[in-house]
Structure 1
């Protein structure tokens, strides 16, 4: 995703409660301006992360893991946005579709997760967990270092998206999107 957008560092936004829907939901393309979709490994925290943390601390804080679709949208007229534009636009996050969660434990190797997304039954993107900073948990570590400087931290119950494992793809009306992975339940969304 960083390659697609021409940026060389992560960014972050906020997920608000009214932005989240469950797998199997339907979205209306007309509710967005220039929507795109990407597949991510996501976490639900079981405890607060109130200060910069290392990998071991982050592992202990994660209660559940699941696949998620992030629906990207922007108020800018094109997708040729800079990192500053993305941050100003809440990292272009417009909606999140969550798959079924599984408990997170040491046996689950998220870096090795093989993920495939289909659009109308055709493969539209593939990736691995390691495509996110080498290990999706490192995105969570990065976030614990970033947020205190912004005057906030992570709390138990928060959902955190690690980052896309593939380049974003257009969100097209009349299309069913489905993502599957090695060990996580699938996530589905229909676009009307």
Structure 2
């Protein structure tokens, strides 16, 4: 995926494990087993975050008003979530122009990326919503966000999931 860097103001990027749901995941009492069963496919994603606030001096309220700073998402190829895939142990490596800049295991996201689905299903239930089949859910970053600059190529890879790549013109 590629786009002109001038479209965004202060872009940063994060690598994440993400899911495509194969069935609805209603709350309030969703457990890890139900969350895993609802996942049809798993994949790597690069979330590009951006803000209109100077130098990323942003409060929680600002972040909410700023759509959680989400600006773009680039998804890698989706694969079935097999029973043997240990998401907490899945190592993600992020490189910029071929140089490794971040490494983190899936457990960096709440101990298990599937816990993000459990939390989200419960939170949505409290506000009258629900996770629905077909929706994509990014679990959360396994490393701190880093600046995204024009002319760079960012790539995330892991042991068992296909890589995802972004080039900023």
- What TM-score does the superposition give when structure 1 sets the normalisation length? 0.85
The DSSP-based 3-state class of the residue aligned with 1:78 is helix
In structure 2, the partner of 1:77 is 54
Matches of 1:122 and 1:27 in 2, distance apart? 21
Displacement of 1:77:
2.0
Displacement of 1:92:
0.7
Displacement of 1:80:
2.0
Displacement of 1:86:
1.4
Q: Do structure 1's residue 39 and structure 2's residue 47 form an aligned pair?
A: no
Q: Do structure 1's residue 174 and structure 2's residue 147 form an aligned pair?
A: no
Displacement of 1:148:
2.1
Displacement of 1:75:
2.1
Of the structure 1 ranges 78-87 and 65-74, higher mean CA displacement relative to structure 2 is found in: 78-87
Q: Which runs of 5+ in 2 are unaligned?
A: none
Of the structure 1 ranges 75-84 and 30-39, higher mean CA displacement relative to structure 2 is found in: 75-84
Pairing of 1:38-57 with structure 2 (within 5 A): 38-52=14-28, 53-57=30-34
Displacement of 1:166:
0.6
Q: What's the Cα RMSD here?
A: 1.0
Q: Which runs of 5+ in 1 are unaligned?
A: 1-24
In structure 2, the partner of 1:186 is 163
The DSSP-based 3-state class of the residue aligned with 2:104 is strand
In structure 2, the partner of 1:102 is 79
Alignment coverage as a number of residue pairs: 168
Which string of whole-angstrom CA distances, capped at 9 and with x for unpartnered residues, describes residues 83-107 of structure 1? Answer: 2221221111111000011101221
